[in-house]
Structures are given as C-alpha cells and as structure tokens.
Structure 1
C-alpha cells in the first residue's frame, strides 16, 4: 500500500533537497537505485511528490530515470567534472580575493577551526569511514569565504554550483583513497594563510589552483577506475 500524504508530509522540493543532501554527503553513491516506494514510505507521502522530486533532480543531472521510472544516482562524467570545476575555480577565486576586505577575526577563527577539523577528519577517513565529516568541513570552509565576499550575486552562483554540481561530484569522490586528498590540506592552508595576510591576489590564485588541482586528482582517479 502506498503511503498517504499527511499533514506533515514534505513537498517535492523539500524531498529533492534531502535526496541531494544525501548524495552530496556520499550516502547515496553513483549507481544506487532510489526506490520510489521506499522513499514514499520514508517521507510519509504519496509517490506523486517523490516522482516530482526525482524529475527535478534528473533535470539537474544528479539522477537518471528510465522509461519505467526507475531512478539511479548519476555517475559524474569526466567532461562534467572538468566543466563544473573550471567554473568553480573562477567564481571561488574571485570570492577569495573579495573576502580579504571583509573577513572578521571571527571568520578567520572559524576558518582555522574548519581547517583543523577537515585535516583530522580526512586522515581518519579510512579507519572510521566518516567521509561525510570531511566533506562537511570542506563545504563550510568554502562557504565562509564565499559569504565573506559580500557579493550576493556571486554567492548565489557559488551556492548553486555547490548544490547542483560540485557537491554531488565530491560526494562521489569521497570513495577515493584518502591519501589522494592529502595535498588538499596543504592547499587549504595556503588559502587561509593568504587570507590572514589580507593578500587578495595570492588568495585568489591559491583558491583557483586548489580547485583546478582537485579537478586533476578526481579525473585521474575516475580514469583509473
């Protein structure tokens, strides 16, 4: 029996956001099948908003739907990864340059906390399997910088890229051996150091180089697999 929508049932948009959140956290991996029946039961709703949510995510290339309505988490393509990260490198590089004029001492302290947490979580990944933890620290690190740019349109573009393209790619990449991501710790440190010195040009270059280097790491891992 299909679940019926109740007073507290979520909308299709809310459901799509939750599914996307799980993909970004690596909880749903590429190739995983998403059962409409199970999702309807979990969200205490009918299958109609589930289908709407899945179609919405298909339009964003996050999942694929067959003619029968079967849903699978999409596997990022090499071209898709390169294109998304090229755009991200430009947007977040600019954000880092703008942020130097606005970052507060509290912002810098929060960035340091994120950086320390990121390094610790990444190095514990293989022993505790908490990929989503370092992904969360990484996202927060980048979000603090984007927010500090004080450019609302730029922040909107970065947020959209993170939610719809970059996040799912990083969720997929969380399957990589953690050793491949070790150099990201050093790159984050270079970004943070430039921000602490209020050196906008260096911060921009460090951020762009970090993202482009991540592109190389992820695409080489994809090609090898």
Structure 2
C-alpha cells in the first residue's frame, strides 16, 4: 500500500510529521537499522526539512532512532536491557490497572473491551499483524482508562508506543496467545474478580516478556 504524504490536518506540521514518523517506525515501514536522512523523509512526507529535523529530535528522545554525527538518523532496535525495563514497568502498572478495572468497570466499559477482543480475533484470523499490534495496545490502554487512575493513564502514552513496537516484532508468533490471554483478563474484569484480573494481567505480561526475549534472541542469532 502506498504511504500518504502529510496532508490537511489541524495539527501543527511538526506534530503531523512526528506522528507519522513514529507510526512508520513502530509498524516496521522503517525497520531497525535503516538510515533515515532528512532529505529522504522530507520527500516521503511531502514537507520541508525543518519539521523533519524537529521530529527526528523527538523520536531520538523516544528511543526510536539514534542520531550520530555524519551518519544522521538510524532506526533503533529494542535491546534486551530496554525490553527488560519495559516489562518491569508493565508488570507493575498492568496488574494494578487490572485490579482497579475489575472493581470499577461499568457494563459499557466491558462492552468496549469485548468489542476490542472481537476486532483482535478478526485481525488475528486475517493475519493483519499491524492491526493486531494496534488493538493490543488499545485494549491495555482501555483497561487503564477503566481503572480510573489518571496518573497511570498519563504515564502510559509513551510506554505503549514502545509496547506496540516490541509486540510488532514478534506478532506473527505472539498474536494468537495474546488474544487468548486477553480473553481471560477481560472475563475477570467483567466478573468483577479483582484477584483474577490481577493474576491474568501478571501471567499475560510474563508470557509477553518471555516471547519478546525469545524474539530478540532469534533476531540477533
């Protein structure tokens, strides 16, 4: 599918470029190790080099690219240390969010989670891995919203950018298992079972961490 240049939007041009650059890196359109010049990105997005330069500084801070003198920007790859840190945070955040969601979820909230599950099933069955990755993050973000803890919600936006990125690298193997684990989590939330939801979230994060570690090992071998 042909990628679109940056078009009409109410967002500032730099923010449009930034959002699209993040999406292309996370979705693998610009894969790890690929060199990204300002000139190439300006052509890709149909903009001048200035908003591209600004966006590259932000994605460097995100950890999605490395900027080096004379070489420019190179798309980063998740490393074992970063992935371990990511899942350590997820293990704490998602278990608390799951417990709170089970205690606070309303019928409309559960309906939202069921809808996301169904969309994920369809995407998994059709092997649409980009959509699976998006829905994976969307479901976890929805659980955090349902928890009602605004501090966790504020911290999660940047975190789930990286969760999406890491998940996408091993999505072909991980997707069916992730969907089944999500069913157990949502069932516990729907039942108001706080202990069960916390346990399901803990088991899910542990399984995801193991899969991500195996994916990184396979990629480096």
> Could you tell me the TM-score, scaled by structure 2's length?
0.86
User: For the Cα contact (< 8 Å) 1:24–1:170, is it kept in 2?
Assistant: no
Q: How does 1:71-220 map to 2 (within 5 A)?
A: 71-125=73-127, 130-163=128-161, 165-174=162-171, 178-220=172-214
State whether residues 10 and 45 of structure 1, in contact with CA within 8 Å, keep that contact through their aligned partners in structure 2.
no
C-alpha deviation, 1:69, in angstroms:
4.7
Q: Residues 69-121 of structure 1: CA distance to partner in whole angstroms, max 9, x if unpaired?
A: 52221010011111101101211111111112322212211211211221231
The total of aligned residue pairs comes to 212
Candidates 43, 53, 72, aligned match of 1:70: 72
* Shift, 1:18, TM fit: 2.0
* Structure 1 CA distance for aligned equivalents of residues 37 and 69 of structure 2: 15
Separation in structure 1 between the aligned mates of residue 173 and residue 63 of structure 2, nearest angstrom: 29
Q: 2:52 maps to what in 1?
A: 50
The answer to whether the 8 Å contact 1:102/1:149 transfers is yes
| Correspondence for 1:3 | none
- 1:10 to partner: Cα distance: 4.2
Q: Which has the higher contact order (CA 8 A, sep 6+)?
A: 1
CA deviations 1:13-71 (Å, max 9, x no partner) are 43222211222333332123323113223444321221121122112211112212522
Query: Is the contact between residue 34 and residue 74 of structure 2 (CA under 8 Å) also seen in structure 1?
Result: yes
CA distance in 2, matches of 1:32, 1:116: 35
Unaligned runs of 5+ in 2: 1-7
Q: 8 Å contact 1:20–1:168 — kept in the other structure?
A: no
Q: Residues 103 and 193 of structure 2 are in contact (CA less than 8 Å); yes or no, is this contact kept in structure 1?
A: no
Q: Which is further off, 36-45 or 212-221?
A: 36-45
For structure 1, which runs of at least 5 residues remain unmatched after alignment? 1-6
Give the corresponding residue for 2:5: none
